[in-house]
Homo-oligomer: A and B are copies of this chain.
Amino acid sequence: MTTVLKLGGSVVTRKEDPETVDADALAIAADAIAGALGDRSDGPDRLVVVHGGGSFGHHHADRHGVSATAGSHDAAALSEIHGAMGELNDAVLDAFHERGVNALPVRPLSVAYRADGTGDSGTDGATDGDDHSGTDSETARLHLPTASVEAMLAEGFVPVLHGDVVTHRGRGGTILSGDEIVVSLARSLDADRLGVCSTVPGVLDANGDVIERIDSLSSVAETLGASDATDVTGGMAGKVRALLAVPTPAHVFGLSDLEAFLAGRAPGTVVGGPE
């Protein structure tokens, strides 16, 4: 069974403090993962972890004016953002290694790129891991080949990817979010389960209660403000839309439910999946 797990950037870092790991939260996450892999009877046998950038990289990206759509051709600036993301990745890997989780880094800048959705360059080269998410013409086609990730999984490693900068055809380099990565991986790895570990216990309704199941965006449009079709900013409506587009059932839950998710249970909100 293949599981793709997103650890929210705001879960494992302190959003208020630039480039500061939330060591307590990371320890809880790493403990849950080590526990699940140690007891494979009900845990995942193939696990890919993706973490967001959180307070790492964020202010570098802001300072250089780089976003998911606004690119830069300044390699020093892009390397600075990439380097900050790498520091968080190192911290996550260290926490995993301390607990015997056989984790290896996969840096998206090294392997992925975007071809502009408005251009004609989307048809070249990449043969796997392609993902044309979203409906906005501004959305670019992400190419994230997974041969190296598959090789790691076959050897029993846990690949750990992260929000990063990536080359963006026609724009230099732009920001690639952890959310985009998990959606692409879930599809290209034909994942059985997709977990999104967040700072909230699930997708919340207007009363702040966890919605148990979401099968269509229209059913929750009012609650999430999803009627705004231009929402590509990574808000909850955008996340839900992206998760609904993937055949893999997705689970959105809080850190305290990570252990339950990895044990095969369905905490928080289930989004989409087979009819």
Query: Taking beta carbons and an 8 Å cutoff, which residues of A are in contact with B?
Result: 73-76, 78-79, 82-83, 86, 90, 93, 97, 101-113, 115, 124-128, 143, 145, 147-148, 150-152, 154-158, 167-173
**Interface residue from B76, B79, B110, B172 paired with A111 (Cβ < 8 Å):** B110
Q: How far apart sit A106 and B143, CA to CA, in the bound complex (Å)?
A: 15
Q: Contact between A154 and B125 (Cβ–Cβ < 8 Å)?
A: no
**Interface residue from B125, B154, B172 paired with A147 (Cβ < 8 Å):** B125
Known: A73-B155, A104-B173, A155-B167; 12 extra A-B contacts, CB below 8 A, are A75-B97, A75-B101, A78-B104, A82-B105, A104-B109, A107-B110, A108-B110, A110-B111, A113-B152, A124-B147, A143-B151, A148-B167
Q: How far apart sit A168 and B226, CA to CA, in the bound complex (Å)?
A: 45
Q: How far apart sit A180 and B169, CA to CA, in the bound complex (Å)?
A: 28
Interface of A is mostly: mixed
Known: A75-B103, A128-B125. Is A145-B147 also a contact (CB below 8 A)?
yes
Q: Contact between B79 and A105 (Cβ–Cβ < 8 Å)?
A: yes
Q: How far apart sit A78 and B155, CA to CA, in the bound complex (Å)?
A: 13
How many copies, total? Answer: 2
CB neighbours (8 Å) of A156 from chain B are 73
CB neighbours (8 Å) of A79 from chain B are 93, 97, 103-105
Tell me how far the C-beta of A24 lies from the nearest C-beta in chain B, rounded to whole angstroms: 22
In the complex, 11 of the A-B residue pairs with CB atoms within 8 angstroms, ordered by the A residue number, are: A73-B102, A73-B156, A75-B158, A79-B97, A82-B104, A104-B167, A105-B110, A110-B111, A125-B147, A154-B169, A155-B172
CB neighbours (8 Å) of A125 from chain B are 128, 147, 150
CB neighbours (8 Å) of A106 from chain B are 109-110
Q: How far apart sit A124 and B172, CA to CA, in the bound complex (Å)?
A: 31
Tell me how far the C-beta of A153 lies from the nearest C-beta in chain B, rounded to whole angstroms: 9
Known: A104-B75, A105-B79, A107-B107. Is A152-B167 also a contact (CB below 8 A)?
yes
